[in-house]
Structure 1
Amino acid sequence: MLRWILGGREAQSSVEKTPVLCIGEEQPKNWFTELQVLKGHFDIVRFLVQIDDFRCASAGDDGLVLVWNVETGEKLLELRGHSQQITAITTFKCSNGLTTHTSLITASSDRSLSLWDPDTGNRVQTISDLQSSVKCLLVLERLCLWLSGGEELCVWNKEFQLQCHRQNHSDTGITALIELPKNCVAAAMDKEIVIYRLILSADSSVSVAEIRCLSDHRDQIRALININDNLFASGSHVGELILWDAVDLNILAYEHILWEESQSSPHAEIRMGAPKPSEMSIQHLTTNGKLILAAVGSGLYVYSVETKTVVAYRKVAHDSDVLHTMLLSDSELMSCSEDGSVRIWEIQDLPLPAEPASAGFFGMWTFGRSGKQTGPPSKKVMDVPNIRMLELTGDLIGHSGAVQMFVSFKENGLVTCSTDHLLILWKNGERQSHLRSLALFQKLEENGGL
């Protein structure tokens, strides 16, 4: 059992796996050597949100919201009220000047929104009979407002009162929302990013106006993130990564990530067609302000915000598509995949023999689209200086289904959720052993010894 948990997994017959991607039991840099399985859901668990330093909430297709203690693994509360799957969840912090209270907002396919108190489990507010399901939520804490996105954009106050709404005409609706400076928000809708400005009147009323439409992506936008107060990034289904100025709304960098053509094929020089979009689709983006980590198909790409170049990559990081990523530091990162694994990576200066840097891997590196060139011409990956590789340092195997996402509680552990209906709480085994020893000695001291 321990061998299976720590990475002694047999290679799938349909997937060619390299020795580097099967690191086995010896994982000296993997501190997650202890796990606890958390049961409570009876369908796919898609979402995790951190409530505070010791609690998280999980939600998914069973319509339940469960609150957990990450120190003990105890299920604290079971929030029932939605009749269909949860489509979005976020925290909403309100301060009265002295204390700050964290609430949970959930959206469901039953076309309702709910406000929950995670301390008591009470459903404080609920809104039913919406025109459509909500796909994403965004809290603007500075304005004490929050937004819901779907077929329409709605603005709400902290009392769950609708302030204004605006219908959109995209077939996909709004799939992601982020906050921008000057009371603006960016909404991803199919291939476009629509910029809205919130207008606050003297009588405390709120209205929303569309001020810009950014139509520079060629395919559906799959990821949208803030980098800092001045920058944001977006990623598309065909491997486009665009870095934007959050104030002027101009393109600062454009990268088109293309796959390497097989060098072993005798007809490699004859390009029959572009790679499949799913192989280079950007499913997830995350950032620490210095680097952007992109999940592209089953691969990972680390992009420098300062130099506007990819500084490290791994073409095949998992057996299936990567669904969620996180930068642990400037040199360590984490990813999870449809293949059921969670992996820890370290940025290395030297290429690994299992996957040498080769010409044509990306096919093209640009700072502007063809016909809109704003930077140097296309460069092959071997021409990019200081390109580095990702070394696998930890393989957390515990889920039997696709791992949807994870939340890090730093020294208190890592929580993952999956299509197998389970959550797993991963702990630093050495630290946990030390804490248990301290607790034992304390108990012996209180009892006067054995």
Structure 2
Amino acid sequence: MRKNRGVELPAQNTRNTAPPGRVLFALSLVPLIMVLGNSMLIPVLPAIANEYDLSALESGLLITLFSVPAGMIIPLAGLLSDRIGRKKIILTALALYGTGGLIAGGSALFFAEPYPWIIAGRIIQGIGAAGTAPIAMALIGDLYPPEHRGQAFGIIESANGLGKVLSPILGSLLALIAWYMIFFAFPFMIAPVLWAIARWVDEKKPEAQPSPAQYKQDILRIFQKQGRWLTLSFLLGAGHMFFLFGALFFLAEMLDTRTTFSGIVRGLYLALPLLSLTLVSAWAGNAIERHPSTIKMFLILGTCLLGSVCLLLPFIGQPFVVIALLFVSGIGSGLVLPSLNILITSAVGKAERGIVTSLYSSVRFLGIAAGPAAFGALPSHPLLLFWGTGGACFLLALFAARLLRRPRKIQSKRGHSRLILHTLPQASEDPA
């Protein structure tokens, strides 16, 4: 008899229990700190460019050269986390993240031309970021049973969103002292997170791992069986990150050139579109835990909301209307991102979860890297930029509607119920 294929999703009325709340609190600090790496820098990019007479491309590299190394290293971090343990990778990565901040900030104090050293520090921070939030997401998948993952990932995405909300404000406040204080803030904030992870998070010793050749075969097998919806999920995550950070870069430039707002006020306005993402992520995680069948609807609805915003933006020139539309796009991303987290972490077994979630996070980081670059390079072609993004969103929503089926409940051998999300090629199965 063939085994049921699909994605194991949370089901109700099971006996599994979640770890203590402090574990989730400690792990939620990891994506919060990680997201500060880019978002806190966005409102002060114009000030840095003016300070050192940088071009738009050179200032944009401060974002891109953080995100690209992170995207490239994440799969390696995931592979190592599968083999030596996720907690070790997270602690090492956080230390690197803080070290990169010290290098970037210190160069502004001790060098007359600090830009190359700032770039070096950002690259080191990006390498450190590779082992933070992506591995924390895999660790949550290890520690939390399926029926508790919805709420856990909703909180994780909310922490991620909260970091995005606070970071423009925090960055603007630190810039009142000096713009380079942003970089010194990283090691200061990372220290308590290191302590909390080391003290509160317990991880079982990794099981004996297969050989590299067998490991590669297992990964290929996963993508052969579930590659269609996994690829779709990767593209959805990258698309939402591409628009989010590209739109924030676009809005920061608009507020700098079309308004006379102070840095703090600009930070507050930049935070508003991210507030909706934070609030909706928390709500969506709880909704998925109660009704897992809403996942498909959230993916389609959230992506269509983002596509609709993209179609309207080329015709809007008022900053406050742009902020309102980006607030709506945040609602869409808040529906999609927790749903994707649950799908990705539930797609595979524990032995391969680190590498698969890391591949997903890698693609998301590449979307973050491409967003500011694309929005900075195509400001004179708004129809190409926004309608192209909107068209891609509607196409992804159509694929989600066709490739994914709503979960249905089946009975396990132990008598517990679970939910399976099928893709169309895997829909047929023998009755269990």
Query: What is the TM-score with the length of structure 2 in the denominator?
Result: 0.23
- Higher helix proportion: 2
Highest RCO, 1 vs 2 (Cα 8 Å, sep ≥ 6) = 2
Query: What is the TM-score with the length of structure 1 in the denominator?
Result: 0.22
